[in-house]
Amino acid sequence: MAPHPAVAEIRRHVRAALEASEPSPVLVALSGGADSLALAAAVAFEAPKLGLPAIAVTVDHGLQPDSAAVASAAAAAAGALGLDARIVRVSVGGEGGPEAAARIARYAALRDTAGEVGARAVLLAHTLDDQAETVLLGLARGSGATSLAGMAPDRTEDGVRWMRPLLAVRRETTVAACRAQGLEPWHDPHNDDPRFTRVRVRRRILPLLEDELGPGVAEALARTAEQLREDAEAFAEMIEETIEDIVEHAEAGIAVSVAALAANPPALRHRIIRHVVASEFHVSLTRTQTLEVARLVTDWRGQGPIDLPGCRAARVGGRIEITAHADL
């Protein structure tokens, strides 16, 4: 008998991701919610066909009184699906607020577990709805095209391939897939807490946009993210090719040719400046800071050095020198 359409859709996306991964164990990040449970079920169905060992990893952040019981239930559900199941308990710090701190701890736990079992790929259950929310949050922050590009469906970092096979799948589809397979997802109470910005976007802003502008807003936001991500990837390639010719090392920092920067269009010039600073000093420049550095190229009136996070930029002859602060 043919599977339920929601189950078939999710399996199709998961199969494509697994076929693109290396022949090594794969991890599935499993919270127990509908999205990750539907993903785990699809991996349990598809991975054996490809001869890939699959391991479900549940990260217990310890942020709720019943977190241990929730983690145990998720691991039990994974085991019932035929997956090897692991629970990793972490301590959540305070960096960037509770949401950001939990995310940092979760990704670190997944990365460490991947290293322990020799997994090259970690599958995450973010959906199209998550992508739409991410784009709206980036738009509200005014943080530029990189933020509006949302979450990448496939990226490699620190030797781990992070894959999101459900980015084209609606959240309602994962719920339907769980129902069709008799799976009982856990509902995270944090997903109803309006103190969290993402919850307000999910519960209030996106539904309002759908009501006022018509259906299809989430899909449109996801398409926008995909197009901007393509643009960002193209810019990244251009930057890597350009930097080799225009950047050189300077004492306590790095220098960029003024003439070469001036010859590039503003979009590329600004990206080069941000990339150089991020690569050398591991900090991100705001739009205002980037424009101030660019003025040393395009609107030079003898202005002095510009203080930036962790460094300073100054025009010295025909170069923009970006160096560490003297007290660092």
Q: In this predicted model, what pLDDT tens digit does every residue of 220-261 receive, in sequence order?
A: 999 999 998 888 888 788 788 778 788 888 777 899 999 999
> Per the domain annotation, does 198 fall within a domain?
yes
Alpha carbons 174 and 33: distance in angstroms, whole number: 9
Domain of residue 276, residue span:
251-324
Residue 326 in this model has a pLDDT that exceeds 70? no
Residue 25: C-alpha distances to residues 52, 54, 190 (Å): 6, 6, 31
Number of domains in the chain: 2
User: Containing H/E element for 123?
Assistant: strand 121-123
Q: Which of 187, 131, 175 is nearest to 7 (CA)?
A: 175
**In a shared domain, residues 276 and 147:** no
SS3 17: helix
Flag the least confident range among 35-39, 141-145, 188-192.
Answer: 141-145
Mean pLDDT of 296-309: 92
Mean pLDDT of 46-74: 91
Torsion sign over Cα 216, 217, 220, 225: negative
- Where a domain ends, among 222, 238, 271? 222
The whole-number pLDDT of residue 328 equals: 46
Band of residue 286 on the pLDDT scale cut at 50, 70, 90: confident
Alpha carbons 320 and 328: distance in angstroms, whole number: 20
Residue 1 in this model has a pLDDT that exceeds 90? no
**In a shared domain, residues 162 and 257:** no
Residues 6+ apart with CB under 8 A from 112: 88
The string of pLDDT tens digits covering residues 117-153 is 999 999 999 999 999 999 998 888 776 677 788 899 9
**In a shared domain, residues 218 and 270:** no
**In a shared domain, residues 185 and 263:** no
* pLDDT mean across residues, the chain: 90
CATH number at residue 267: 3.30.465.60
Flag the least confident range among 79-83, 175-179, 307-311.
Answer: 307-311
> Per the domain annotation, does 246 fall within a domain?
no
Residue 35 in this model has a pLDDT that exceeds 70? yes
Tokens matching residue 312: 């300073």
Band of residue 85 on the pLDDT scale cut at 50, 70, 90: very high
Alpha carbons 136 and 225: distance in angstroms, whole number: 10
The whole-number pLDDT of residue 315 equals: 95
**In a shared domain, residues 70 and 31:** yes
User: Containing H/E element for 161?
Assistant: strand 160-163
- Where a domain ends, among 172, 204, 222? 222
Tokens matching residue 191: 């997903």
- Kindly report whether the global pTM for this prediction surpasses the value 0.95: no
Strands (E), 214-310: 247-250, 253-257, 306-308
The answer to whether 268 touches 239, Cβ cutoff 8 Å, is yes
The whole-number pLDDT of residue 8 equals: 97
CATH number at residue 75: 3.40.50.620
The answer to whether 121 touches 110, Cβ cutoff 8 Å, is no
> Per the domain annotation, does 282 fall within a domain?
yes
Alpha carbons 172 and 298: distance in angstroms, whole number: 50
Residue 71: C-alpha distances to residues 65, 207, 239 (Å): 12, 31, 44
Band of residue 96 on the pLDDT scale cut at 50, 70, 90: low
Q: Which of 151, 139, 245 is nearest to 201 (CA)?
A: 139
Alpha carbons 67 and 65: distance in angstroms, whole number: 6
The answer to whether 26 touches 202, Cβ cutoff 8 Å, is no
Flag the least confident range among 139-143, 154-158, 168-172, 270-274.
Answer: 139-143
The whole-number pLDDT of residue 143 equals: 63
CA angle 96, 98, 100 (to 5 degrees): 50
SS3 255: strand
**In a shared domain, residues 262 and 207:** no
**In a shared domain, residues 166 and 55:** yes
Mean pLDDT of 35-58: 97
Alpha carbons 32 and 46: distance in angstroms, whole number: 19
The β-bridge relationship of strands 26-29 and 54-60 is: parallel
The whole-number pLDDT of residue 52 equals: 96
Residues 6+ apart with CB under 8 A from 237: none
DSSP-derived letter for residue 4 is P
Residues 6+ apart with CB under 8 A from 259: 318
Alpha carbons 90 and 61: distance in angstroms, whole number: 5
Mean pLDDT of 45-67: 91
